[in-house]
Amino acid sequence: MNPSNTEQAPALEVHVATDSSEEIDDQIAMLYLRTVDVPMNLTFIFTGTSKITSEQSLKEFTDTFEMHIPIRDGVKSNVTLTTLETYKDSGPKNPDYFLQIAPMCLYTGDNLEVNQKYILAGDFKSDSPSFNMNGSEAITQKFFDQGKLVDISSPHMATMRFNGELLSKFTGPFNEYIVFTAFKLAFGRMHPKCPVAKKFAEGLINPNVGRGVNYKSVMTIAQNLEIPCTHGPDTPNTKESKKYFNDIFGDCDDPNGSLWKLGHIIDALHWINVFATGNEDADLFRENGGEVFYSDFTVDTIPELLKPSWEYFKANASKLIDCYNPVYDLFAAYVMVGYIKGVSRDDHQPEQFIANIVNEF
C-alpha cells in the first residue's frame, strides 16, 4: 500500500468486541490494529469473561498494556475503549467493519448496523461449536441474514502459531504474557465450574473431540524439552483424570478416550516438574491433593507447586515457541484488515500469514 494514499484516505470506523484477559491473543490483535498502516477509528468493546467483569477487563488492559502501545506516525486513528454494557445502551452504532473475537454475552445487536462486513473469529455453523458463538447466536444470525457475516474457521485459525520472527514483534508485557499464557494453558485445565466446561473442556484435551490445543501443546513441550513420558498402559495419575471429568460430567464411561489423553498430559507435566525441581521423587499432582491444576491463576498468583516449572519454562522459552498458543484473534484481525484493503485472506496458510503480518506490524 502506498503510504501517501493511506494518509489521504478517510479513517474507517472499526469496532472490535474483545474478551481481553482470557488469553493473550486478544491483546496482540488489538496491538496489531493500533499499529497497522490503515487509518481507522477504533472502538474496543470489552465484554468481560466468565472470571472477570467487562470493567475489570478494560482496567486490566489499560493498567498492563495501554502504555506499551506505540503511536505510529502518519496513521490517522482515534481509539475508544468501552464496555459492552455501555456500548449497547449508548445509542445507534454504525461502523464500517465489526470484528467479533469474543462471545457476545447475549447481545443481539439491536442498536448496531454494519456497513461492510461483520467478521466472526469462529464458525457460524459447525459440528464442533466455536467458543465465540457462545451467547452470540442472535447477533451473528442478524448479519448472516444481511449477507455481511464472514466467519473464519476455528480449525484453520488453530494452525496459526508464532515463529521467532513474529514473536520478536512483541516486547514488554506482551511478550511476558505470551510466554505466561502458554505455560498457564499447558499446566492448567478449564475449571469444572466454568459455565462452558461441559461444552469445551474435553475438546481442549482430546483432539478426537475438539481441536485438542492443550494436548498438542503439552506433547510438543515434552518433545522439545526431551522429557521422557510414560505413555504406556500404566500411565500414572489417571485418578486425577477421572476426578476432573467426574467433576464436570458426573460418572461417565469415557467413550472418546479423554481420560487417557488427560493421563498423557498429566504424565508429561509430572516429568517436566521432575526436571524442573531435580527431584525424581516429586509427585506434583499428589502434592496438589490428587487434582489437576486449573487455569484460573495469573502471573502474580502462580501456585507455589508450579513455580519451579514456571522458572524452567521461562529458561527454555526459546525452545518452546512452536508450543505457544495459536494466535486465533491476531489472524482474525489480519483477515479483517485484508477486507479493508480489498483482499480476501480467509484461506491464507500459516507461512503466508506469517510473511505478511510481520511486515504489517
Q: What is the model's pLDDT at position 76?
A: 58
- Cell output for 75: 496513521
pTM of the model: 0.85
In this prediction, the residues of the chain whose per-residue pLDDT falls under 50 are 1-7, 233, 236-237
Q: Where are the domains of the chain?
A: 3-159+326-360, 164-323
List residues bridging with 189 in a β-sheet: 294
Q: Mind listing the pLDDT tens digit for each residue in 261-297?
A: 999 999 999 999 999 999 989 999 999 999 999 998 9
In the CATH hierarchy, which fold is given to the domain comprising 3-159+326-360?
A: Rossmann fold (3.40.50)
Q: Mind listing the pLDDT tens digit for each residue in 37-90?
A: 889 999 999 999 988 999 999 999 999 999 999 876 655 579 999 999 999 999
How many angstroms separate the CA atoms of 152 and 140, rounded?
Answer: 13
